[in-house]
Structure 1
């Protein structure tokens, strides 16, 4: 018999009091899964926690309530904690969550309930399907407490380069990119498409993945314009195919010195950027500087 069916059993048992007073060891509570919840989800449940809250409005599905008035738990093997004590008559919420063997919440629900003086129960709550996060890799789930223990990590990174092998979507890694080779810390990916591996330094860093003479974040191997002084002309690497002009900068460390392609005796970068038409005073506006 699956645990989902066993949950129908009433937890807690009121006892008769003397002199017309009602004494009890706890509320009678029945917890079931909603009919539409897949059987697989029902079978995964190994622990159920039940909470008495002031109202279902305050309950966040899947989370343990911080303002619970009382609570109890029951395990798949039938063992359970103390029953929920009977509160003052009034309106409340009966909230419950079911967890699997990895402490992930697989079911949650809350039902408004009324506690009567004469008849405090039985009460019932129905669980809908829920998909919660369980323990991280390296952690252990305690079925007795429903808590994870151990440091754990959401990043399975065998080569310590910052990228994971795809487990849990690499949620705890420095980037969600999946490592192409999780056994070599210098090989992982080329997310910036510059022909250099982003882990060539031993750690994922696309901005430091190879020699980058112009410091533009694109390594020289894939940089179509190595321009150290940002004047638009390159140092000749790759034929300057990605630069403003194929002309090679005569001084790639000074943004105001590069070339004189129009032979007007004015440096085409005198403005700080390669522009032969604006390389000095030109009184007649013919594109040739007055010098």
Structure 2
């Protein structure tokens, strides 16, 4: 079998790092996009580095030369350095897609998020889904992965629990199934191999917000103490932030508060357990 050559953009992020490891474990040749030479030390086994910035198209010319598959998890949670979601999540990925079109890569995989297609009114999803539209309308085979929350996102629960008290909106019965980066990376590579066009992915365990809060408190060996806030407060905060702050400020908060007001249950995959992740975080093992 001819060895596939894969470009990973977003490799210094939570998911991208696991994708690089999974690709190498399966014997693929991997090129990684980095912004500066010092980032090379983050990786143990990479075949080639390409130094450039996705928001500066002149710096990534030729990035997909001799590449079969492109993986991109490029995106920002918080707008900084003068860059917006449109600059990075949309235009940055579009710059990469244009390079991929020049060289005719076999598959372009992009990581959006669960319910992104239903939540286009959120600033962060507006940009992501605008790129999804561009990718789907291109001539390339595409693979869209929509993960549920990462285990790393659940650290917000853990940080709150450290103080011994949790605050939840509503009655805490809404649910989600977050996924570990290593498990998600396996799904991403599987989907590139099998040319799966679109899939929503979550972890093996479904938790209500009450169960998440309890799990986080127990990780710190704290008594279960949960305070419930009216869901009207959540909605009011979103309204006030949109009215009186810029998208740079309200973007990530709008995203978090909106997601916390709905069920987010995806197709379950993987073996990692959130309780183990919380334990390792509390004891400094991960």
TM-score higher than 0.5: no
Tell me which protein shows more helix as a share of its residues.
2
Structure whose CA Rg is larger: 1
Return the TM-score normalized by structure 2: 0.21
Question: Greater relative contact order: 1 or 2 (C-alpha under 8 angstroms, separation 6 or more)?
Answer: 2
Return the TM-score normalized by structure 1: 0.21
